[in-house]
């Protein structure tokens, strides 16, 4: 069983379905239930429940079974949560994050930056030369920006992620 209180799990689920969706998951009844039952028991709006269930289904974190009423012919959708794929998805997200951080680190290490002292813009050296080292927004003189502190933070974050 997945620990919904785990910071990583909680953050990932909230990024998918939002705060209300996460609350729905926490309060969701056991077993197969309809979206209407979920909305009633969790006191979450039916539209939010349906949106959350659809997102969870798309991400293989919920399973839906259709049942046809033999008298009316109406379809009933029965839902239950299945977090068995969560570990795989978190691993995939981690790889994606590491790849993005490496790309950003490479960009930061291999470029020179100039900033406006008023905080309007941060430009690459080539862009700064095109504006004659004047801020395109306010006209102030651009100054060299030392990004070593940012590069250090990126490297530390990368190292933390790769060691986990």
Kindly list the structural domains of the chain, giving each domain's residue range(s) and its CATH number in brackets, ordered by start. Answer: 7-84 (1.10.10.10), 96-163 (no CATH)
Burial class of residue 69, CB neighbours in 10 A (0-12, 13-18, 19+): exposed
The Cα 98–Cα 149 span in angstroms is: 19
pLDDT of residue 1: 60
Q: What is the pLDDT of residues 25-71, one digit of tens each?
A: 999 998 999 999 999 999 999 999 999 999 999 999 999 999 998 88
Helix axes 7-27, 86-109, angle to 10 degrees: 140
Looking at residue 80, its pLDDT comes to 95
What tokens appear for 4 in the block? Answer: 């919904």
- Closest to 119 measured CA to CA, from 105, 102, 140: 140
Other CB atoms within a 10 A radius of the CB of residue 154 amount to 19
- pLDDT for 2 beyond 80: no
pLDDT tens for residues 85-111?
899 999 999 999 999 999 999 999 999
Q: Name the nearest CA neighbour of 104 among 153, 154, 147, 145.
A: 154
Q: Which two tokens stand for residue 12?
A: 């990932």
Nearest Cα to 89, choosing from 53, 61, 47? 61
């Amino acid at each position: 069983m997945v620990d919904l209180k785990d910071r990583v799990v909680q953050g990932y689920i909230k990024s998918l379905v939002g705060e209300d969706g996460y609350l729905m998951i926490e309060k969701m009844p056991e077993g197969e239930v309809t979206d209407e039952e979920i909305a009633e028991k969790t006191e979450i709006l039916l539209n939010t429940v349906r949106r959350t269930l659809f997102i969870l289904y798309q991400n293989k974190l919920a399973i839906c079974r259709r049942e046809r009423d033999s008298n009316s012919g109406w379809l009933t959708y029965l839902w239950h949560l299945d977090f068995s794929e969560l570990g795989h998805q978190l691993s995939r997200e981690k790889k994606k994050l590491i790849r993005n951080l490496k790309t950003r680190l490479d960009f930061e290490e291999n470029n020179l930056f100039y900033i406006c002292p008023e905080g309007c813009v941060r430009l690459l050296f080539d862009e700064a030369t095109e504006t004659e080292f004047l801020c395109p927004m306010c006209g102030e003189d651009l100054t060299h920006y030392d990004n070593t502190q940012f590069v250090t933070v990126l490297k530390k974050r990368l190292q933390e992620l790769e060691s986990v």
